[in-house]
Amino acid sequence: MDCIICNSKMNAKSDWAYQCSNCNFWRSTLEPGAGRGIEGLEELRRSNFKILSDKFEELTSLSGKSCLEVGCAEGWFLDEAKARGAECIGIEPSEVSKLSQAAGHDVKVGFFPDILDQGRQFDIIIFNDVFEHLPDPVDAIKQCENYLNEDGYLILNLPNSGGLFFKISATLAKFGASSIFNRLWQKGFPSPHLTYFNERNLDAFIAKYTKLQKCKNFPLPALHTQGLKERIKTSHQGLKGQILYLGIRMGLPIIQACPSDIIVSIFQKHSGK
């Protein structure tokens, strides 16, 4: 397997995880699928969508912008963007689309970009914890460019392979303790991660396949004390879960000072003027 970013050789790190020997881009051979992710994340996600929207609005206001969210799930980002005056459309292939529709959002059930009318363009296209689930990221990123207006923005909110938890988990997995590593990839979940970028190789990926220009990037907190217990419970029950919870609570100040496991990168379509 060759790297889709720099064409270097991808080294097998497990039966299903491969890392580029040159740019550190990761790929998995896990079975793609659509479905709900991990429970216990509503507080964290909603609070991160506020931070994300504030940071985006340093570039331009959301008000009056046409905004497409690919993989809108429960519609929590749509709630935030709509409250700030954006005209939003969501795409969601899974059953969870019913929740965002019930919340009053315009949500199309299907896959990007097939479900959209051809020639349609948006001021903003955003992927929140979705891009890493796509089986063909190269085609997806080219389609993003096609579906953006001139001067439109692409927002990628992604897990970061340069993050603290990813690095620790990859090291532990090397020594045979792979449960956290598997969990970060959502191995065994309906929709596991198929790719894992860091800030640098994401920029290189975008530059290779599109003419989009980088505007800014910033980290988002990967942990929030609210909902943490529920989140841990989904993978670690009983005493093991309680110890893990206490460990993370106590280590939170240190964790928050390290590179985050969530990054947001914003790119803009070339105006061509």
* C-beta closer to Zn ion: residue 6 or 248: 6
Query: Which of 234-240's residues contact partners 24+ apart within 8 Å by CB, and which partners?
Result: 234/38, 234/39, 234/40, 235/179, 235/183
The nearest distance, CB 198 to Zn ion, in angstroms, is 11
* C-beta closer to Zn ion: residue 20 or 81: 20
Among 3, 30, 78, 148, binds Zn ion (CB under 5 A): 3
* C-beta closer to Zn ion: residue 3 or 228: 3
The nearest distance, CB 134 to Zn ion, in angstroms, is 18
Look at residues 84, 29, 35 and name the one whose alpha carbon lies nearest to residue 55: 84
* C-beta closer to Zn ion: residue 186 or 198: 198
Considering only residues 7-46, where is the footprint of Zn ion by CB under 5 A? 8, 20, 22-23, 25
Which window, 5-13, 27-35, 143-151, 252-260, contacts Zn ion (CB under 5 A)?
5-13
The nearest distance, CB 263 to Zn ion, in angstroms, is 17
Considering only residues 99-158, where is the footprint of Zn ion by CB under 5 A? none
Rounded Cα distance, 131 and 125, in Å: 12
- Residue 5 contacts Zn ion per CB under 5 A: yes
* C-beta closer to Zn ion: residue 20 or 263: 20
* C-beta closer to Zn ion: residue 77 or 197: 197
- For residues 256 and 212, is the Cβ–Cβ distance under 8 A? no
Among 6, 99, 168, 215, binds Zn ion (CB under 5 A): 6
Which window, 1-9, 223-231, 248-256, 263-271, contacts Zn ion (CB under 5 A)?
1-9
* C-beta closer to Zn ion: residue 91 or 202: 202
- For residues 263 and 158, is the Cβ–Cβ distance under 8 A? yes
The nearest distance, CB 135 to Zn ion, in angstroms, is 18
Residues lying near Zn ion in the complex (CB under 5 A) are found at 3, 5-6, 8, 20, 22-23, 25
